[in-house]
A and B are shown apart, each in its own frame.
Chain A
Amino acid sequence: EVQLVQSGAEVKKPGESLKISCKGSGYSFTNYWIGWVRQMPGKGLEWMGVIHPDDSDTRYNPSFQGQVSISADKSISTAHLQWNTLKASDTAMYYCARLQAMEGYYSMDVWGQGTTVTVSS
């Protein structure tokens, strides 16, 4: 079964650092881009960025550039999303998803279950 399994919920204080993970299984992890999506409480979906695990080519939404870091370790089929200095406004659900390419069109066909990040003093 193709799946992405994300790390568990996190509760952090402002100013702390955090790294969450997304582990792929059931497919060749290095053949697909992995994207990250933010969903703030009660709000819609926001595209954060993507990484290709084979060569770690990474593209960021300019709105998130410099605020987060996306990385991947292909040896353990895992992608990461990292913050160096968390803010209360980072409180959200974060999803990873695989990008499939069908007839030249990309879409996010497999999603992780989501990681809830709560930042509060």
Chain B
Amino acid sequence: DIQMTQSPSSLSASVGDRVTITCRASQRIFKYLNWFQQKPGKAPKLLIYAASSLQSGVPSRFSGSGSGTDFTLTISSLQPEDFATYYCQQTYTTLLYTFGQGTKVEIK
């Protein structure tokens, strides 16, 4: 099984900060990597697919990068509505996808 490890598990940041979350895969997954945002009591929301492609309707302050085993989600200027938990997900193994453990972004 491919394991996905996110870091940090949580972080505190202020509005306007640049925030970076990292996701590492236990083996090469090329660009088969998605990022989701989840707010309390809500379903996850797709932000980034194929490592760096912005899902339609998602603000451009969100960006993704990486390939192989190391990936990054960046929020260029944190907004109040961005405080949430973020998950990466690999889609390399055919129809057997795994998520990272999540990164909680809290208000500083």
Task: Give bound CA distance, A109 to B43, whole Å.
Answer: 11
Q: What 0/1 pattern do residues 1 to 41 of B give for CB contact below 8 A with A? A: 00000000000000000000000000000011010101000
Q: Are B91 and A105 in contact (CB under 8 A)?
A: yes
Interface residues of B: mostly helix, strand, loop or mixed?
Answer: loop
Number of interface residues of B (CB under 8 A): 25
* Residues from 54 to 103 in B contacting A, C-beta threshold 8 Å: 55, 87, 89, 91, 94-102
**How many residues of A are counted as interface, with CB atoms below 8 angstroms from the partner's CB atoms?**
24
Residues A105 and B44 in contact in the complex (CB < 8 Å), given A44-B102, A47-B97 = no
Contacts of B89 in A (CB 8 A): 45, 47, 107-108
Instruction: Give residues in B with beta carbon < 8 Å to A.
Output: 31-32, 34, 36, 38, 43-46, 49-50, 53, 55, 87, 89, 91, 94-102
